[in-house]
Chains A and B, each alone.
Chain A
Amino acid sequence: GESVGLHLPTLSVQEGDNSIINCAYSNSASDYFIWYKQESGKGPQFIIDIRSNMDKRQGQRVTVLLNKTVKHLSLQIAATQPGDSAVYFCASHPYGQNFVFGPGTRLSVLP
């Protein structure tokens, strides 16, 4: 079955630097991916999504890159701010099946 993992459970970056959070998935039939942000005491919040027919999608200060060849997904946050401190996790969606979620990376922004 599908499994989703992240390369690092924690990541610390200086305020103003760019952050890169990685995710690997196992099912090549996954056709839709989402990044979620979860702040302490809150539920996961949708950040950005990407479909398998794309390799890059940009939002406000965030970019998601998809490499289907190696089944790898990344979230880039530009000019990281203290409010970006949270747990980030990816979810992959094989068509017609339920989402599979990764374990999450805790991003800490240092002053």
Chain B
Amino acid sequence: ETGVTQTPRHLVMGMTNKKSLKCEQHLGHNAMYWYKQSAKKPLELMFVYNFKEQTENNSVPSRFSPECPNSSHLFLHLHTLQPEDSALYLCASSQDQGGFNTDTQYFGPGTRLTVL
């Protein structure tokens, strides 16, 4: 285990539902990340939080809304998603963001999301 947990592991939702993904890290890190992983495509960075402050929003549609109440927890709130949003959503954490020696990211197991 990497010290990063995600719940739920699988989620099926309709386009009108509201759901949330949760990530928790037990590594004492200060930066947390949301990525989208679609089949046969590289990881796509969605959001970055460093010391609870959002430092990156990679042109993500507003139907995805992140929340970081503290350095250990990260949420991704989902609302009126589209079928093309179906993917594996990965959370990661690192000691810090942007530094020279502390950026190695450790990933959780992901949430497999299916939008019907």
Contact = CB atoms under 8 A, between A and B. Distances in A.
Given A101-B42, A102-B42, A103-B41, A44 B107 contact: yes
A99 B103 contact: yes
B104 A49 contact: yes
Contacts of B108: 43
Contact of B43 (A9, A41, A101): A101
Nearest to A103: B42
Contacts of A99: 45, 103, 105
A42 B6 CA distance: 11
Contact of A95 (B42, B100, B109, B110): B100
Contacts of A102: 42
A83 interface: no
A8 B107 CA distance: 24
A98 interface: yes
Contact of A45 (B2, B6, B41, B56): B2
29 contacts: A9-B40, A32-B100, A34-B105, A41-B109, A42-B110, A43-B2, A43-B4, A43-B90, A43-B107, A43-B108, A43-B109, A43-B110, A44-B43, A45-B2, A45-B107, A49-B104, A89-B42, A91-B105, A93-B103, A95-B100, A98-B45, A98-B56, A99-B103, A99-B105, A101-B43, A102-B42, A103-B40, A103-B42, A104-B42
Given A43-B2, A43-B90, 16 more contacts: A32-B100, A32-B103, A43-B6, A43-B107, A44-B107, A46-B104, A89-B43, A91-B105, A97-B98, A98-B45, A98-B48, A98-B56, A99-B105, A101-B42, A101-B43, A102-B42
